Amino acid sequence: MSFTPTPVPGPDAPLKAALRYGLIGLGVLVVLSVAIGAAAAGLPGLWGALIGSAIGGGFILTTAAVVLFGAKLPPTMAGMVMLGSWVGKMLVALLVIAILNQFDFYDRMVLFLTVIGALVIVLGAETYGVVRQRVPYVTVPDAAPETPPRED
């Protein structure tokens, strides 16, 4: 009789699951939003759905990837990386929106609804991935003060 132990997930398993489920959710969103956007607004709807998926999904998935990367760093460095990535994402998002504002090849309403859908669906999928993981943890009790043996 042989015993094969069940592998214990690492401490970063919830973050990896969040990325995996977030990518799956984003893939489903892309397919649905492209189909609905193209049916509702034609080629501009298709472009709006693709751009909205990239903006919303990229924004959220980047956060999960940075947290996964930062988990291996010392706390102060991880905080700086998170803050830097947030500022960078905000600048990129503002720049993309400013550039897109000059063009009219995409449907703005489809883009808006797809970005909102990406935020909700990808965050929900990531949350499901984290909550679904079972990671064991151990709490070590404080050392009990040594008491001298009782003499009766």
Closest Cα to residue 118, out of 64, 57, 61, 65?
57
Region 109-118: mean pLDDT is: 96
* pLDDT for residue 26: 95
Distance CA 20, CA 138 (A): 26
The model's pTM is: 0.78
92, pLDDT greater than 80: yes
* pLDDT for residue 15: 87
| Amino acid identity for residue 131 in this structure | V
Region 69-98: mean pLDDT is: 92
Q: Quickly list DSSP for 35-49.
A: HHHHHHHSHHHHHHH
* pLDDT for residue 139: 79
* pLDDT for residue 6: 63
> Greater confidence, 107 or 12?
107
9, pLDDT greater than 90: no
